[in-house]
Amino acid sequence: MTALLVGDPTIEAMEERSAATEAASPVIALRGVSKRYGDLLAVNSVDFDVAGGEILALLGPSGCGKTTTLRLIAGFEEPDAGEIWLQDEAVAGGGSWRPPERREIGVVFQDFALFPHLSVAGNTRFGLQNLPRRQRSQRVAEVLEMVGLGGLEDRYPHQLSGGQQQRVALARALAPQPALLLLDEPFSNLDAEMRVDVRLEVRQILKDLGTTVVFVTHDQEEAFVFADRVAVMNAGRLEQVGTPEELYNEPATRFVADFVGHGNFIPGIVLDGAVETELGRHIVPNSASPGQTINVLVRPHDLAISRRADGPLTVVERRFLGSEVEYVLALPSGARLISHQPPETGLMVGERVGFEVREENLRAF
Amino acid sequence: MAIPAPSAAEVGVAPARRWSPLPVFFGRRRAPVLVIAIAVALAAFMAVPLFYVFYRGLTGSSEVWDRLIDDRLPDLFVSTLKLAICVSLVTVVVGVGLAWLIVRTDLPGRGVFVWLAAMPLSVPPYVGALVYIAILGPNGYVEEWLSALTGTRERDLPMPEYYSLGGTTLALSLFTYPYVYLMASAALRSFNPTLEEASAASGRRMLSTFWSVVLPLLRPAIGAGVLLVALYVLSDFGTVSLMRYDTFSRAIYDQFTSRFDRSAASILSTVLVLITIVVLWGQSFSEGRARYYQTIGGWRPPRPVKLGRWRYPALAAVVTVLSLALFIPIGLLVYWTVEGLTDSSVASDVWSYSDDSIYTYAWNSLWTAAAAATLAVLVALPLAFLAVRFDSPFSRWLARLSQAGYALPGVVVGLSLIFLLNNYVEWLYGSAFVVVLAYLLRFYPQAHQSTTAALTQVSPNMEEAARSLGRRPERAFLEVTVPFIRPGLMAGWALVFLTSLKELPATLLLRPAGFDTLPVRIWINSSEGIFTLAAPLALLLVLCSAVPLYFLLRQSRVGPTVIT
Amino acid sequence: MKKFLALAPFLLFAVAACGDDDDGDPGPSGSETPLATGTAQSEAFDPDAELTIYSGRREPLFQPIVELFEEETSIDVSVKYGSTTELGAALIEEQGNPQADLFVGTDAASAEELRDLGVFAPFDSPALEAIDARYRADDGSWVGVSGRARVIMYNTELVEEEELPVPESVLDLVDGEYEGEVAIPSTLNSSFTAWVSALRQFLGDDEAESYLEGLQDNDVLVLRDHTEVRQAVGRGEVAFGLVNHYYYQLEKEEGSPVGVIYPDQGDDQMGVLVNVAAASIVNEAGNREAAEMFMEFLLSEEAQEIFAATNFEYPLIEGVETRADVPLGEFKEFDVDLAELGRMNEETLDLLDRLGL
């Protein structure tokens, strides 16, 4: 039970949710894993667990250590400190080491890394050397059918489109029925339009199979759509792990709040039980002592505005986003805020507006 | 086993990794110790002759140094440099000109010329020199013909002296320009045409565009080609000897073989190797500053330049070069061969001169070249693997060390092996394997570079993918990497094979008694002045060289499209 | 198929390696026949062992003798052909690790120099007595097997057309009328070097040097070897060439319009240098028995006949006639100790280097 936990134990809600969905011990667990390249601490004491059948996204900007974490799990790198547990067995750290070829972890690379000298079937068959010969072709056909590549067995990688190559890479990784599947930016090599469809398709396949997945992305939207839980990394450290909702609504750090979704940060001074900001005095949970300056996060949806001739805010920009309209507002101090409103709001640039803040959603950092 | 709970104590800065000397040398990831050991041993082995030459040269008697500095070095220096510069200039003009006409214009027949223009590489320059001695030399075909035409005696004809800087430049340029041609045409083929379009859009005419945009961007490719030409000139022995032109290589051979004091040869070798190293250094310096030629971006086939009324003059120029470098030499070799075969007193000698037959020589040539090529590829695998996968100052240094052969002309390799083996590895000396060793040392860089280039193309993900699918590292390398870099390995193999096949000076020095190769036989027969006996051997050598060359050309054109 | 192609080079190598083994072993067939020569054999003699010869003599002139020897003794002989000095240099480097059993060079001076360096083993045999003591080393380290005279050959047509006087002395060749008309071989050629040493001995160093400078000032054509010289004279590129007498004979036999001068015949003139092609047994030769047999074979009438017949040389034993136009004894020879010329060799080479010849 304790094993299921994550970066910041103060977030109780998340722990409850995790506990409800996962009962068995995790497929993969990282304990204080660190990796150093020269002076750079690429991965710094990272802990997390992934339960069976769960899809976990490692999300963060480039250079945050997410790909290194993936490579540590796969066994392409050795951690300098900490342990990695795969299905109740330590595979790295604490004196144990299991090389990648004995970890039974499937990997889909960013560039797919298909073997150009092998056909689609040859690539898919590559990991099946432990299967009796007769069953291999059967398994290959099965997997290719599953990813929708039936009939393309004899093609070579260079004869395939990007989306098809991606599916071959997936088929190859899935064919040996790995305990864990790792995806490294799997959709970044695809066209924008194709990406959305492929993403959903792949997710469906993985969910149908009940595969445990860790995948790396720098795209917050992709992480939210694809993963059950998201682990946000920054500068080698794990900032927070949680469901997309938790991350959005209950960001544990300012970085998470900033990286996940848009946010307005407004400075405020802590007073007795409240925070005084340019948007008024609000009750915001915080750990700062009175008199300190902190930043208050206001999500664009939590800032309601309406036309008011003597309103304190001025509309300086208006962007039509389709289902809603994004307004950029200027505060008297000159600071800018973003607010998302339904299209029918119909405000024009230059108009003055009044506002209302949904206090229960405010967070301070 | 139970997974430990995360403990707050563990959070914090990770301890510095445990100390190990290897990562210091090999950067981010630790290379397998076995690979490092093999690579270090091989690189050391490849570099020994280089250091031995220096050792022998620098410990040579100061008296001999003084004598050489007074009597020989200045003249040799000037004449060698003059030749290298002249040949470089001619090959740039011919090589770049042909490349541009064939790759970028609507020249008639360029589909055929694209191959033919590279084929003179299969004619060893000393064979070419022989052919042109017979044509342009004193009392040669041209003089004979002019004499018959004008009624003047041959010796009274106002013919320019063929045994001269000009003649030597001609003989060397005609058979080495393909180095420049190949490099320049490869660069032209990958040249982004939008650059030319941009130049045209800025109001430049075609010729102005060529000078101000195309040529500067081709410079690194041309430089690489010229480097190969210059290195060839520095190492050439056969041609300059036939042409009676004094260069370092020839002087070293002469010093070694004309007097029984070897320090003069060692000293000249040291100087020559230093010159070669300076040339290499100069090239890498200018290349380092000019790496900008690789244009990435939307590639599409460039629109061929319309030659208009220059079409036929251009065609004539191309045909002239190919005639001089290919048709005439091969035609004459065929003529002599036929002449020899129809002359009954010569015919039997053609097939079996003395104890050995032409087949023995061909076989000796082929198997030694094949053995050297195979060894070169096998040596290149660990060294290139280390250089590419574990890039670090140390691995780069190892790679450079292993390519010492670049700076070692054939005469010097021969000499240093004679010295080294007789002093330290006596049992090895006197077998044909020494000849193989000399080829390996001299031509290894070609295998190294092809292999490195191929390996660079393989994403390390490919090996990692194989490992995640259950392959041990060595299996992953064999099953995935090796097949993938096979074209590169084959290209390296073919290059080493091709150049080994033509090698003359080291073979001349190192061959055991009774072991002659085609070039050695051509050399011996031609020094007898019997062209009809040398011709069939030369023809056979050209044919044997043409096969790997054809393969190489196909590889270089087809290769990239398969890889991407 | 694809797979096979990939393996092709490696297969080729494997095949090559096997093939080499086959080549390397001397064929067993025939070699078991008992020897039928009159030479003495020791118990340890191994008729299967190959005899390795380094020959500075050109292949067409030497191979017939080798073949005859192989035929008569069933000993396999392998020969490395090259220039005398080139092979001599190899012998020096191979000291202590000798590859050759026997060395045949083209002049006595370089043989003496090599003897001095300890490359050769002494040799004694009754057969030596047939050779004039002038033409062999005292200890038999080198033994002359054929004689050659240093002559001037000329193109008869050219001399007539250009109305050039026929020189009576080599010293005349520095005269202005011979400008650009004389060819000599390069210093790679040991016969030429020996001749320069002889000049130094006769004229003194200073005179010899100014003579050579005179040749240079006269645009002397320096060619790679004697074959090039005789061909240059034969086809009329130059009128005169300094060669061994048989080069003149060979060129004449090919039908070129050439004549010969045996120069310097006056009482106070130096005479013609007669040098010998010398054979030597290499120190610590692996197959000394066979080398001795070959040595003796070279001094046999059969072999001497071949030298005389194929190459117009002067046989060095009684009873074999030369085919040369001017036989030995009919001209004045330069009276010199050939071994002495060998000791002058190094200095001569320094001189030639200094002059850039």
Q: Which of A202-216, A277-291, C249-263, C266-280 has the lowest mean pLDDT?
A: A277-291
- For the residues B401-427, what does the mean pLDDT come to? 83
Chain A positions touching B486 (Cβ under 8 A) are 117
Q: Which residues neighbour A40 within 8 Å (Cβ) at sequence distance 6 or greater? A: none
Is pLDDT above 80 for B257? no
Of B154, B371, B528, Cβ closest to residue C58: B528
What whole-number distance in Å separates Cα of residue A192 and Cα of residue C6?
41
Q: What pLDDT is attached to residue A102?
A: 86
Nearest CA in chain B to A43: B14
Q: How far is C91 from chain B (nearest CA, A)?
A: 10
Instruction: Tell me which of C1, C4, C13 to substitute to probe the interface with B (most B C-beta atoms closer than 10 Å).
Output: C13
Query: Which range scores top for mean pLDDT: A9-23, A136-150, B341-355?
Result: A136-150
Q: What pLDDT is attached to residue C27?
A: 37
Q: What is the pLDDT of residues A142-174, one digit of tens each?
A: 999 988 888 899 998 888 888 899 899 999 999
Q: What pLDDT is attached to residue B29?
A: 53
Chain B positions touching A102 (Cβ under 8 A) are 470
What whole-number distance in Å separates Cα of residue A94 and Cα of residue A86?
14
Residues A115, B28: C-beta atoms closer than 8 Å: no
Chain A positions touching B28 (Cβ under 8 A) are 37-38
Q: How far is B303 from chain C (nearest CA, A)?
A: 36
- For the residues C292-306, what does the mean pLDDT come to? 92
Q: What is the pLDDT of residues A64-97, one digit of tens each?
A: 999 999 999 998 888 999 999 998 889 988 788 8
Structure tokens at B329: 């030499």
Q: Average model confidence (pLDDT) for chain B? A: 82
Nearest CA in chain A to B17: A80
What whole-number distance in Å separates Cα of residue C281 and Cα of residue C287?
10
For chain B positions 460-479, those within 8 Å of chain A (CB to CB) are: 461-462, 464-473, 476
Is pLDDT above 70 for B488? yes
Please name the residue that has the structure tokens 């979704």. Answer: A261
Is pLDDT above 60 for B554? yes
- Percent pLDDT > 70 in chain A is 93
Is pLDDT above 60 for B24? no
How does residue B352 score in pLDDT terms, banded at 50, 70 and 90?
low
Q: What pLDDT is attached to residue B1?
A: 55
What whole-number distance in Å separates Cα of residue B191 and Cα of residue B217?
9
Q: Which of B21-35, B189-203, B334-348, B425-439 has the lowest mean pLDDT?
A: B21-35
Question: What SS3 class is residue A323?
Answer: coil
B56 touching C, CB under 8 A? no
Is pLDDT above 80 for C315? yes
Q: What is the pLDDT of residues B489-525, one digit of tens each?
A: 888 899 899 999 999 999 998 999 888 899 998 988 8
Q: What pLDDT is attached to residue C21?
A: 39
Q: How many CB pairs under 8 A join B and C?
A: 149
Is pLDDT above 60 for C40? no
Which chains does chain A touch, 3 or more C-beta pairs < 8 A? B
Is pLDDT above 70 for A262? yes
- Which candidate, B56, B515, B253, places its Cα nearest to that of C85? B253
C179 touching B, CB under 8 A? no
C92 touching B, CB under 8 A? yes
Q: What is the pLDDT of residues A245-256, one digit of tens each?
A: 999 888 888 899
Question: What SS3 class is residue C97?
Answer: coil
Q: How many CA atoms lie within 13 A of C283 on its CB side?
A: 18
Q: What is the pLDDT of residues B119-136, one digit of tens each?
A: 999 999 999 999 998 898
Q: What pLDDT is attached to residue A293?
A: 87
CA distances from C53 to B358, C50, C286 (A): 21, 10, 11
How does residue B84 score in pLDDT terms, banded at 50, 70 and 90?
very high
Q: How far is C9 from chain B (nearest CA, A)?
A: 7
Q: How far is A260 from chain B (nearest CA, A)?
A: 24
Q: What is the pLDDT of residues C153-171, one digit of tens each?
A: 999 998 998 888 989 999 9
What whole-number distance in Å separates Cα of residue B108 and Cα of residue B98?
13
Residues C80, B363: C-beta atoms closer than 8 Å: no
For chain B positions 70-89, those within 8 Å of chain C (CB to CB) are: 71-72, 75
Residues B6, A47: C-beta atoms closer than 8 Å: yes
- For the residues A241-247, what does the mean pLDDT come to? 92
Residues C79, B511: C-beta atoms closer than 8 Å: no
Q: How far is C265 from chain B (nearest CA, A)?
A: 30
Element (H, E) at B135: helix B125-136
Q: Which of A58-67, A94-103, B93-102, B196-205 has the lowest mean pLDDT?
A: B196-205
How does residue B11 score in pLDDT terms, banded at 50, 70 and 90?
very low
Chain B positions touching A3 (Cβ under 8 A) are 3, 5
Q: What is the pLDDT of residues B295-320, one digit of tens each?
A: 334 445 666 778 888 889 999 999 99
Q: What is the pLDDT of residues C250-276, one digit of tens each?
A: 899 888 999 999 999 988 899 999 999
CA distances from B493 to A264, B115, B122, B379, B382 (A): 64, 20, 16, 11, 15
C41 touching B, CB under 8 A? no
Strands A213-217 and A40-50: unpaired
What whole-number distance in Å separates Cα of residue A56 and Cα of residue C1?
46
